Amino acid sequence: MRLNRENSGARWRMRPDGPDKVTGSLAYLTDLTAPGMLHGLVLRSPHPHARIAAVRTDAARRLPGVAAVLTGRDVPGLNRFGIARQDQPVFCEDRVRYVGDAVAAVAADSLESARRALELIEVEYEPLPLLDDPEQALRPEAPPLHPEGNVLHAKTYRTGDAGPVFASCAHIVEETYRTPRQMHAYMETEGGLFVPGPEGGLTVYAPTQHGRMDRLQLSRILAMPEERIRVVSSPIGGSFGGKDELNVQPYGALLALASGRPVRIHNSRRESVRAGLKRHPMIIRMKTGTDANGRILAHRVSIVADTGPYASLGAEVLNFATEHAVSAYRFGCVDAESVSVFTNNGMSGEFRGFGGNQAVFALEGQMDRLADALGMDPWEFRRLNLKTADEPGPFGQPIARTDGAAKAWAALAGSRLWRERSAVRTPQAEVPLASSSAAADARDAGTALRRRIAADSAAPVSAGGEADPPWRKIGIGAAMVMHGAGLGFGIPDPSGGRLALRQDGKIEAAFGFEECGQGLIATLEQMMIERFGFAADDIRIVIGDSDAVPDSGSSTASRATSMMWRALGLLERPFTEKLLEAAAKACGRPSRLLGLGEGGIRDLETGERIVAYEALAGRQKEPIVCEAATRYPAADTDIVGAHFLYSYAAVAAKVEIDGLTGRVRVLEQFHAVAAGPVMNPQGYLGQIEGGSAMALGYALLEEAAMRRGQYVTNNFDTYLIPTIADAGGPVEVAAIEDLPEGDEHGPRGVGEIGSVGLAAAIASAVRHAAGAWIDRLPIDPALLQEARPFEKAAVIGDE
Amino acid sequence: MNDDTDLGAPEAEPLWESTVNGRPVRLRVPQAKRLLDIVREDLGLTGTKRSCEIGRCGACMVLLDGAPVNACLTMAYQCAGRDVVTIEGIAGEEELHPVQRAFLEEGGYQCGYCTPGMIVSVKALLDAIPDPSPEEAEEALSGNLCRCTGYGGILRSVLRAIEKGRGGS
Ligand code: FES
Ligand code: FES
């Protein structure tokens, strides 16, 4: 189904959190203030690698208005954090390993005093040798950044010895791909309000993707039982993986407890860039060979990931990248070896796509190059090597059976955009020059604007037409994506939810998930309405408050929608029965004649309302509550990180290259996504469109550049994310909803998959348009600039 | 107004008088105080967001005498005596502004953090050009970054707002 408002009918719903968002009345956690509040700031290292010889805080402490100055000595519990491995210091005591490393923190009664106090803290550093290149950091002579050395994690997956197989290949393609450090660039920087309780407890209001994980981590740092910490963690002004790990929470919490007063922290963008996570830069080498007919016989992969100074989720990201460097293709022999390396660069960590973005860019690059070597149609070449529904997953593990790959492939093959490809030829130099072909002046009722955003009414832009200047080139490319969801084998992945009829008559759905903007609240509300028949008004959604929700696990890894669906499925019978039994008691009719409906319990036959939920609630001594515990399904394997549920996407992009500037513009996109039934059409569409804009930035614009361990792109003036002018072309999203009969896993999440494939499709389109193979992102315009006629002449003249 | 109001500001600070969302406002604030801080801290109007603070993202967009400006780059003295409208002043007494309704209907937002600034810019655009060309819309909105939506929903919202402006649905 082509996903849009028209095709979704009544299933296209207004989000419950919408009105507060469009009026500006929604209080984000970084908007909160409290009476008597202090302002917190963190002192971070100016050096990417140095020994700390001394820290002197006396002068800062003496400054009027300063309520607390903290260093490593003031951490009552574990002076470390990390979701998977606790190796990142809250405060560094003897050594700093990147420019975001914290050394001290202050709280003062004004931001101004806090700033002055930071300046008064004296830290003596003795710079240490810098390790800013992951390959250098792997050399035996490199100084170790941690006692165990510079390897955070190594992953090997080998089905056999590829060496001899390559000898029998008819075509071999070998390439090294490099991907950039991408910034999440959520619009709301990290921050929050930290309020000490009257009896030594603490309430944390700070965005995170997993409130209960923050609570656990804070309890370790503060040496305080989890029950005394309440974490309020939604709403969130964007996260994309970047706020899953702790950021300012340890500092806010420690300062609030030390001063006994509420403390507010809200990072500047500069500080957010400096301290925050980024997508792992990777160097991916691939050697892939086929027989003469195009069947892949061997695939060798080596990945070096720059994980920065501490672990965060670097190991898990590497496992994911390795798995998705294999993806959905049938390789005779796979030999993959990956390593995640500590450096003194910025922190890398979780980011939407989780290592798949890098791997798919490389893998799809191989597919295009091999097809080219074979003289085959690139899409046909993929079909030839795609696994069928019954074959195992990338690590040879059993996976849930779906036809997603074949269906996504076929949807793209039949798309208008892909069929247009054969008509597109790069323009001939002889084509006469003419003025721009933009149909800009149709000035009625947004016609031109509609054309700009709607694929079906897009004016076909055929290159080589009379209107095209010779330096304008058009190309269409495509990529396949397979994306695992859930945390994977070997990582506990519990979830659950709770339904209750509360005293006030509201049906309360409580989940430990977070609203990052993805529309989780809307999706949950829609599931409650469609599954149970409640009206929106009957429902109260409770999320994002560790005191009020059950453990659902993190809102990450495209897992929340799946887990809500699964939990509601488990709760449907018991909760319905309890409500109907209570209603039967109340009205004296047998419960089998009753059913749930809008506003209350109804007579199944007549549809007439028998008892309103409010009245029903009023008759109960105790609220009616059902809780479900479940877990994300995992593969039956022994390979850590291997997934069980996958979604698939086929992505096509049409680009225009200006040969004078080398600039690439994406004119149109097509996404076929096979991820099971669509729970919330608006949310689904938004995830694919939004994710793909991120991939567009990844392909063309974004790089958090570092020089000698220092960020050189510190804000949106130099770190460019797509604007409306960059991302304004039509995006068609086709949702492939079917699942095999008997599938019990329901909707697969789509939070990440939209962000994965477009970069590879753009690279493919660039090759189609200009003949250049792209092996590095973001694409360097200089590569695509043609020599000007006079320069050509000059070169010839030189010869 | 929140508890952060600069009530105790020294007399020495000049008096800043403006109209904010139709109401007269008088505050003692330093001449160089940013409008962003005045609305968020002194007036407690937190719908105006802070994100880049260098005029690049548009999260802080407000209307100054009807024209969109970045509140993070506007200082008190530059807007004294002028008419400031923040996102909180866009809706009518009873009803949301058509641009706000369009965003709700089309889903022109996700996390919502860019949304106030975006809506302010769209309103300014459509006030000036009721039926903009794609180039005009892109030009007017390229100072508003959105990381969540990819702008598809935003463009559809603009389109819908144009139709509403013409008495359409
Ligand atoms: S905060 Fe003003 S433009 Fe970004
Ligand atoms: S909706 Fe999140 S930044 Fe625009």
pLDDT digits (tens, 9 = 90+) for A778-798: 999 999 998 765 555 554 444
Residue B59 Cβ < 6 Å to ligand 1 = yes
Residue with tokens 């009345």: A25
Q: Which of B35, B40, B48, B53 to mutate to test the pocket of ligand 1 (most atoms within 8 A of CB)?
A: B53
pLDDT at A447: 75
pLDDT band for position B65 (cuts 50, 70, 90):
very high
CATH value at residue B79: 3.10.20.30
Average pLDDT over chain A, rounded to an integer = 94
**How close, in Å, is residue B44 to chain A by CA atoms?**
9
Residues of A in contact with B105 (CB under 8 A): 5, 14
How many Cβ pairs within 8 Å bridge chains A and B? 220
For the record, the structure tokens of B67 come out as 């024209």
The ligand 2 site (C-beta within 6 Å) comprises A 187, 238, 517; B 109-115, 146-149
Residue A799 scores a pLDDT above 50? no
In angstroms, what CA-CA distances link A606 with A314, A656, B69? 58, 61, 59
Check CB contact under 8 Å for B150 and A693.
Answer: yes
Contact A421, A476 (CB under 8 A): yes
Residue A231 phi/psi, 5° resolution? Answer: -115, 115
Pocket of ligand 1 contains residue B78 by CB under 6 Å:
no
Put simply, the answer to whether A725 touches B139 (Cβ < 8 Å) is: yes
- pLDDT tens per residue across span A275-295: 999 999 999 999 999 999 999
pLDDT tens digit sequence for A422-446: 887 644 333 333 333 333 333 455 7
Residues in chain A with CB shorter than 8 Å from the CB of B133 are: 440-441, 443, 448-449
Number of structural domains (chain B) is 2
| pLDDT tens per residue across span A667-716 | 999 999 999 999 999 999 999 999 999 999 999 999 999 999 999 999 99
Distance from CA of B103 to the nearest CA of A (A): 7
Q: How high is the pLDDT of residue B47?
A: 98
Interface TM-score (ipTM) > 0.90: yes
Q: What is the pLDDT of residues A29-45, one digit of tens each?
A: 999 999 999 999 999 99
Within-domain flag for B7: no
Reply yes or no on whether the pLDDT at A22 is more than 90.
yes
Using CB atoms, pick whichever of B88, B107, B166 lies closest to residue A24. B88
Report the gap between the CA of B75 and the closest CA in chain A (Å): 18
Report yes or no on B70 lying in a domain.
Answer: yes
Which residue ranges make up each domain of chain A? 32-128+187-238+243-275, 494-508+517-541+551-631
Phi and psi, residue A95, nearest 5°: -155, 140
Question: Are the C-beta atoms of A165 and A297 separated by less than 8 Å?
Answer: yes
Q: Is the pLDDT of residue A665 over 60?
A: yes
Q: Which domain covers residue B54, as residue numbers?
A: 15-89
Average pLDDT score over chain B: 93
Q: Which fold has domain A494-508+517-541+551-631?
A: Aldehyde Oxidoreductase; domain 4 (3.30.365)
Give the pLDDT mean for A588-612: 96
Distances in Å between the Cα of A555 and the Cα atoms of A486, A495, A529, A561, A640 are: 10, 10, 22, 9, 20
CATH superfamily of A32-128+187-238+243-275: Aldehyde oxidase/xanthine dehydrogenase, a/b hammerhead (3.90.1170.50)
Hey, are the CB atoms on A235 and B159 less than 8 Å from each other? no
Say whether pLDDT at A214 is over 90: yes
Which of the pair, A468 or A250, is modelled with greater confidence?
Answer: A250
CATH number at residue B119: 1.10.150.120
CB contact under 8 A, A33 and B4: yes
Nearest residue to A243 (alpha-carbon basis) of A71, A92, A30, A70:
A30
Cα distances (Å, whole numbers) of residue A539 to A583, A643, A764? 18, 34, 47
Closest-lying ligand 1 atom to the alpha carbon of residue B53: 1
Domain final residue, candidates B89, B118, B139 = B89
Chain B positions in Cβ-Cβ contact with residue A516 (cut-off 8 Å):
111
pLDDT score of A692:
98
**Separation CA A679–CA A525 (nearest Å):** 10
DSSP, collapsed to helix, strand or coil, labels residue A365 as helix
In tens, the pLDDT along A430-487 reads: 333 333 333 333 345 577 777 777 755 444 444 444 467 889 999 999 999 999 999 9
Q: Which of B54, B109, B137 sits opposite A717 (nearest CB)?
A: B54
Which residue on chain B is closest to A38 by alpha carbon?
A: B4
Cross-chain Cβ contact B134/A715 below 8 Å: no
10 Å Cβ neighbour count for B99?
29
Cβ contact B150–A692 (<8 Å): yes
* Residues A682 and A11 sit within 8 Å (Cβ to Cβ): no
Same domain? For B82 and B115 the reply is no
Confidence band (pLDDT; 50, 70, 90) for A1? confident
Q: Tell me the average pLDDT across A245-258.
A: 98
Determine the atom of ligand 2 nearest the C-alpha atom of B109: 1
**What are the helix (H) ranges across A414-542?**
416-421, 447-453, 520-532
